[in-house]
Amino acid sequence: MKIRFSNAGKRFNREWIFRHLNLEFNSNTSYAVTGPNGSGKSTLLQCIGGMLQLSEGNVSYTLDKQVDPENVFKHVSIAAPYLEVVEEMTLKEFLKFHKQFKSFRQNLAIDQIIEIIGLSSATEKQIRNYSSGMKQRVKLAQCIFSDTDVVLLDEPCSNLDAAGIQLYHDLIKNYCSDRLVVVCSNDVVEYEFCKEQINMNELKNKLPLAGNQ
């Protein structure tokens, strides 16, 4: 998958988050989006994945041939603090439900996935009874194990302990090497494997003065 921004901009009301952005994201490459809280990392991530529309400019998606923006969701998976899982379901029920929309990579069985993320003993518990760290493992699983070309991760190690952080890196290493990966974070532990880095402050510095908007 290749994602290309051409003279792209996004604003909320009169505040530009980024503008005149020309960037290209390519398969087999990992990107870190960094910057202070409130700088627009999550906004850019959602624009990359087609969840938010640009205010100006264009974004194109190419996978062998041009992909209709309306169908980009089929090729993208995301894990983020602001996205929730279905807490009334058990883990097995949730993964079965998720599989109806996106199949899993390498034809992994649900029981295999649950074992890999270390939650075999909690398979039949409702997710609402999980700790915050366990819920984060579930979010990472539904994102990384989905058979998609693009993996978007916003603060992926939120609420994870040392073992959970190691699991995260193992998942990236074992299941994401041939994909386009974008990580939004201020913590180098979360993006130390990324080959490219985009700093939101640098994008902000390129914005025109208020009188020129």
Cβ atoms of residues 150 and 3 within 8 Å = yes
pLDDT of residue 207: 54
Count of all residues that appear for the chain in the document: 213
What integer pLDDT is reported at residue 173 of this predicted model? 97
pLDDT for 26: 95
The CA distance from 57 to 140, in Å, is: 31
Q: What are the domain boundaries of the chain?
A: 2-212
Which H or E element spans position 162?
A: helix 162-175
The separation between CA 157 and the C-alpha centre of its own chain, rounded to angstroms, equals 12
Q: What is the pLDDT along the chain (213 residues), one digit of tens a residue?
A: 999 999 999 999 989 999 999 999 999 999 999 999 989 999 999 999 999 999 999 999 998 888 888 889 999 999 999 999 999 999 999 999 999 999 999 889 999 999 999 999 999 999 999 999 999 999 999 999 999 999 999 999 999 999 999 999 999 999 999 999 999 999 999 999 999 999 998 876 655 543 344
Q: Helix, strand, coil % (nearest 5) of the chain?
A: 40, 30, 35
The domain 2-212: what is its CATH number?
3.40.50.300
Q: What is the pLDDT of residue 206?
A: 58
pLDDT of residue 203: 78
